[in-house]
């Protein structure tokens, strides 16, 4: 879809009419995402990304929808280089001028935001001899100090988010907001997929929700930021190919039974009985080098649930609909 959208404005007109105009405003649509981790896909569609995003935005302007609906493209943390410390992270040099700088200029000019897929699980799995599981799961720990700026981190999630903020800052785009479009933890994995378990998945998602809903979205580098986070995923994907973990990110089984029980609202947290340690993170707090920090192994996920600092006591809700398209296609959120 990206290549077609970048070459044929008429295709974009028809796409917006079919997938946005036909549903809006009855269905609340917040964003259109182009591709998913395009920079690591196997279809070499990166060169089409920016032009396709521009055409979509132009069509939204014509329909007077550009203020309500933003256009972006989710990135994996593998699009960053320099694994440690997070304050030294930057976008891969070969992608800066052809992709990231023009994309960030587009996001700034249209009032949109950078979408990031952040998976502490993959960093922990690849470095379990170095990274504490408590640090990866938002559990109580002594923290890790960034040797570049002296900030102390109490969660790997915060470290990964600030790495993306640091990469934008390196290009002088400090004013662009960020949305975590995907994060989660697998409840089951193959023998070599260290850390994938029901207990760890429940702990990660529970503590993440508590951290966002009760502590706000601030990170050590950006303490005042209002971070919106989408959980991956609502359901397990039993028919999906690949490693076992790829089929087991869901909060529910396909038959709608819960994989594990966690609260999704502030009110629910008051009555939920839980023996896990309280969530940490968001605080100002030297660490051993961490390699493979945040490399994402999936390029075809759909996101369903959101915990937002603005939606203080709302239930996490399904907001994203995956559209029929090629593997580098578009989605509405």
The domain ranges of the chain are 2-332
Long-range pairs, 249-258, Cβ under 8 A, ≥24: 249/184, 249/185, 249/186, 249/187, 249/201, 249/301, 250/187, 251/205, 251/305
- Residue whose C-alpha is closest to residue 188's, from 245, 270, 109, 268: 245
Q: Report the pLDDT value the prediction gives residue 137, as an integer from 0 to 100.
A: 98
Q: Report the pLDDT value the prediction gives residue 320, as an integer from 0 to 100.
A: 39
2-332 carries CATH number 3.40.190.10: no
Residue 31 backbone dihedrals phi, psi, to 5 degrees: -160, 160
Measure the CA–CA gap between 161 and 158, rounded to whole angstroms: 5
Active-site residue list: 37, 182
Say how many CA atoms lie within 13 Å of 160 toward its Cβ.
30
> Buried (b) or exposed (e) across 268-288, using 16+ Cβ within 10 A?
ebeeeeeeeeebbbbbebebe
Q: Report the pLDDT value the prediction gives residue 312, as an integer from 0 to 100.
A: 32
Measure the CA–CA gap between 208 and 138, rounded to whole angstroms: 7
3-state helix, strand, coil in the chain (%, to 5): 35, 15, 50
Q: Report the pLDDT value the prediction gives residue 2, as an integer from 0 to 100.
A: 80
- Residue whose C-alpha is closest to residue 127's, from 195, 36, 184: 195
- What is the secondary structure of 147-176 as a DSSP string? TTT--EES-HHHHHHHHHHHHHHHTT-TT-
Q: Report the pLDDT value the prediction gives residue 278, as an integer from 0 to 100.
A: 54
Per-residue pLDDT of the chain (333 residues; tens, 9 = 90+): 788 888 888 999 999 999 999 999 999 999 999 888 887 765 567 889 999 999 999 999 999 999 999 999 999 999 999 777 999 999 999 999 989 999 999 999 999 999 999 999 999 999 999 999 999 999 999 999 999 999 999 999 999 999 999 999 999 999 999 999 999 999 999 999 999 999 999 999 999 999 999 887 799 999 999 899 999 999 999 999 999 999 999 999 999 999 999 999 988 988 887 655 555 544 433 333 333 333 334 333 333 344 444 443 343 333 333 333 333 456 666
């Amino acid at each position: 879809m990206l290549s077609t959208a970048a070459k044929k404005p008429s295709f974009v007109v028809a796409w917006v009419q079919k997938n946005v105009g036909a549903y809006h405003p009855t269905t609340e649509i917040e964003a259109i995402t182009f591709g998913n981790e395009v920079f690591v896909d196997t279809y070499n569609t990166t060169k089409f990304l920016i032009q396709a995003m521009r055409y979509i935005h132009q069509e939204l302007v014509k329909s007077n929808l550009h203020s309500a609906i933003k256009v972006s493209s989710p990135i994996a943390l593998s699009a960053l280089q320099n694994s440690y410390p997070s304050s030294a992270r930057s976008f891969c040099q070969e992608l800066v001028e052809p992709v990231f700088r023009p994309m960030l200029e587009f996001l700034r000019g249209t009032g949109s935001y950078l979408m990031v897929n952040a998976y502490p699980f993959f960093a922990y799995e690849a470095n379990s001899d170095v990274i504490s599981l408590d640090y990866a799961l938002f559990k109580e720990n002594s923290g890790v100090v960034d040797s570049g700026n002296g900030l102390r981190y109490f969660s790997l999630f915060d470290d990964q988010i600030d790495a993306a903020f640091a990469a934008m800052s390196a290009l002088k785009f400090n004013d662009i907001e960020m949305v975590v479009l995907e994060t989660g933890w697998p409840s089951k994995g193959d023998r070599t997929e260290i850390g994938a378990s029901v207990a760890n998945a429940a702990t990660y998602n529970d503590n993440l929700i508590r951290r966002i809903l009760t502590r706000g979205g601030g990170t050590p580098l950006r303490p005042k930021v209002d971070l919106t986070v989408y959980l991956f995923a609502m359901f397990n994907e039993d028919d999906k190919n690949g490693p076992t973990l790829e089929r087991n990110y869901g909060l529910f089984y396909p038959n709608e039974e819960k994989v594990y029980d966690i609260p999704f609202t502030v009110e629910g947290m008051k009555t939920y009985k839980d023996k896990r340690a309280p969530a940490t993170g968001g605080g100002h707090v030297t660490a051993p080098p961490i390699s493979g920090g945040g490399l994402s192994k999936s390029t075809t996920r759909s996101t369903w649930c959101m915990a937002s600092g603005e939606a203080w006591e709302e239930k996490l809700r399904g907001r994203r609909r995956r559209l029929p398209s090629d593997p580098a296609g578009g989605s509405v959120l």
